[in-house]
A and B are shown apart, each in its own frame.
Chain A
């Protein structure tokens, strides 16, 4: 595969993350208009809209492609809407990319926005004892931070990670995000601040667990031919991975009660999180050694360390060493989460995978003021969500 599958990112835009309490569509319109302006295009130029859905904002959220098209003004463009938990934005990118590569359109808007409730993410309402997401709250009281706590403690037990390591991740990301105009928490925290914050799910403190946020992100994707008529150096998408896990899934995953039972079965070649990135590397014909930066899904401080290994920045058990060496800080060998990550943003689910791609685009263009990774030309995004969803996007100069 490789270069034949490239599409161009001609414009990106975001509505700042926060807890603004307004309708998600408003945020999406702001992000879309910013992305159009960034691309030097008008809404009338958009032939296809791929919307990443939100499941917490009623019917308009389930049909995001149409909802945003109507808000920007019905004009007969084609639409698609998709939901894939935290990977929704990347699946929307993939839908638009397929349309472009198939020659069905040249210019597409990919868009996601959310308005979130306060506090823990709760299951969708009603009495639904056949929904694992409902049952895990009912029977176990297992919130999302419960799973993050289990993963974090596993690193401590298996690799000797410490709470100081986890705090160091959070402090690093706070320094990265402090000057990001779209971050919800642009504030520098020391390791001591992080450790002094109340424990939510041992060993993780409140500052180490991703919040739920409002926000929106939009990307204008075009064919490379179209991009050449507008720009001499448009950033490109070299790969989009949206693979499922492979049975038996032997790593505990949200919102499950258990792993698959692996007795008598051959385990998959690589665990799910590794497989997400591997598929992207394979499609792009690139590897971890080619990266200048990564945006990974730090739902918790400790989870960022898991990702270092999952995307091949180091071998299993070596993530703490990479962190302690400063390699993943801006200025280090392979900066991770130059945007500040989820730590500084909180999670606006359908917009988050798009926001990761926006950040890599600004970095490669040299527009990431105050958090620029010098000479950045290749970056990877990766994330994982409920029910076997995950995605990875490779962005190149």
Chain B
């Protein structure tokens, strides 16, 4: 397992810096509107016809807007471990961008430990793996609950 290559589960949506990973958005060069997931063909601001975008890293920390969990295995294309492991999902508000972004919460956090307004940071974890690769995805990790964060990073 140590020999597997770590690759993002999707190209161009987040940096893979192990210390300070961040979501990658795009910003319209004409009106400065920010888009995540990335938009690089046309600006969706109705008052702008911009076609040029620059990549920007979104804030690495935010606060929980809401959260839930998934107790049953989702259908394909979700790649589930066997047996299925339930997981928690949080919607996180990034203040600077005024955007709410979904993500799974790091393993080991009970839903009872979460509340709206709780500060979280973005970390990387393994979504699934095959014989060659570990496929990385972003996850939200509560700040100041170091145990779970370390587990996810190790």
- Select one of B69, B96, B137 contacting A139, CB under 8 A: B137
Instruction: Provide the bound-state CA to CA distance between A66 and B26, in Å.
Output: 43
The reply to whether A263 and B70 contact each other, CB–CB distance below 8 Å, is no
Q: How far is the CA of A141 from the CA of B103 in the complex (A)?
A: 9
Residues of B contacting A200 with CB < 8 Å? 70-72
Pair A141/B78 contact, Cβ less than 8 Å: yes
B98 at the interface (CB under 8 A from A): yes
Q: How far is the CB of B77 from chain A (nearest CB, A)?
A: 4
- Known contacts A143-B70, A247-B45, A257-B36, A262 near B98 by CB under 8 Å: yes
> Are B69 and A202 in contact (CB-based, < 8 A)?
yes
Q: Give CA–CA (A204, B104) in the complex, Å.
A: 18
Does residue B49 face the partner (Cβ distance < 8 Å to A)?
A: no
How far is the CB of B152 from the nearest CB of chain A, in Å? 16
Q: Is B46 an interface residue (CB 8 A)?
A: yes
A230 in the interface (beta carbon within 8 A): no
Given contacts A154-B66, A202-B111, contact A258 B44 (CB under 8 A): no
> Smallest Cβ distance from A135 to chain B, in angstroms?
7
A258-B71 in contact (CB<8A): no
A129 at the B interface (CB under 8 A): yes
A145-153, A305-313, A333-341: which one contacts chain B?
A145-153
B104 touches A140 (CB 8 A): yes
A258 near B78: Cβ-Cβ < 8 Å: no
CA distance A122 to B77 in the complex (A): 8
* Alpha-carbon distance between A145 and B89 when the two chains are bound, in angstroms: 11
Considering the chains assembled together, what is the distance between the CA atoms of A138 and B74 in angstroms? 9
Q: Which residues of A contact B36 (CB under 8 A)?
A: 257-258, 261
| Chain B residues positioned under 8 Å from A45 (CB to CB) | none
B116 CB–A CB distance under 8 Å? yes
Q: Number of B residues contacting the other chain (C-beta, 8 Å)? A: 45
Are B65's CB and A154's CB within 8 A?
yes
A146 touches B65 (CB 8 A): no
Give the residue of B69, B78, B98 whose beta carbon is less than 8 angstroms from that of A149. Answer: B69
The answer to whether A141 touches B104 (Cβ under 8 A) is yes
**By the criterion CB–CB under 8 Å, are A247 and B46 in contact?**
yes
Q: Which residues of the other chain, B, contact A203 by a CB distance below 8 angstroms?
A: 68
Find chain B residues with CB under 8 A from A157 CB.
66, 115-117
Residues in B whose Cβ lies below 8 Å from that of A132: 37
Q: Which of A134, A150, A250 contacts B68 (CB 8 A)?
A: A150
Interface size on A, residues (CB 8 A): 48
* Nearest chain B CB to A139 CB, angstrom units: 6
- The residue in chain B whose Cβ has the minimal distance to the Cβ of A126 is B77
B96 to A, closest residue via Cβ: A263
Chain A CB within 8 A of B79 CB: yes
Partner of A201, one of B71, B80, B116, B127: B71
When chains A and B are docked, how far (Å) is the Cα of A261 from the Cα of B77? 27
Q: Using CB atoms, name the residue of chain B closest to A267.
A: B98
Q: Which residues of chain B are within 8 angstroms of A127 by Cβ–Cβ distance?
A: 77
| Contacting pair B103 A140 (CB below 8 A) | yes
Bound together, the chains give a CA A242 to CA B36 distance in angstroms of 26
Task: Please tell me if A137 contacts chain B, counting CB pairs below 8 Å.
Answer: yes
Judged by a CB distance under 8 angstroms, whether B106 is at the interface is: no
Asked if B113 lies at the interface with its beta carbon under 8 angstroms from chain A, I say no
| Bound Cα distance A363, B137 (Å) | 50
**Which residues of B (44-63) have their CB < 8 Å from a CB of A?**
44-46
**Chain B residues, CB < 8 A from A120:** 72, 74-75
Task: Let me know if A76 is at the binding interface, CB within 8 A.
Answer: no
CB distance from B145 to the nearest CB of A (A): 18
B10 contacts the other chain (CB 8 A): yes
Per the bound structure, the CA–CA distance linking A119 and B76 in Å amounts to 12
Are A138 and B77 touching (Cβ within 8 A)? yes
Nearest CB of B to A369, in Å: 37
Write out, one digit per residue, whether chain B residues 99-113 have a CB within 8 A of any chain A CB (1) or not (0).
111111000000100
Bound CA–CA A247/B44 (angstroms): 8
Residue in B closest to A136 when the chains form the complex, CB atoms: B102
A129, A157, A250 — which one has the most chain B CB atoms within 10 A of its CB? A157
Is there contact, CB below 8 Å, between B137 and A154? Answer: no
A263 with B78, Cβ < 8 A, contacts A129-B10, A157-B66, A202-B68 known: no
Contact A137 B77, beta carbon cutoff 8 Å: yes
B45 to chain A, nearest CB (A): 6
19 A-B pairs whose Cβ atoms sit less than 8 Å apart in the complex: A122-B76, A127-B77, A141-B70, A141-B104, A142-B74, A142-B89, A146-B68, A152-B68, A153-B67, A153-B116, A158-B116, A202-B68, A248-B33, A258-B37, A259-B99, A260-B35, A263-B34, A263-B96, A264-B32
B-contacting residues of A (Cβ < 8 Å)? 119-120, 122-123, 127, 129, 132, 134-143, 145-146, 149-154, 157-158, 198-204, 247-248, 250, 252, 256-265
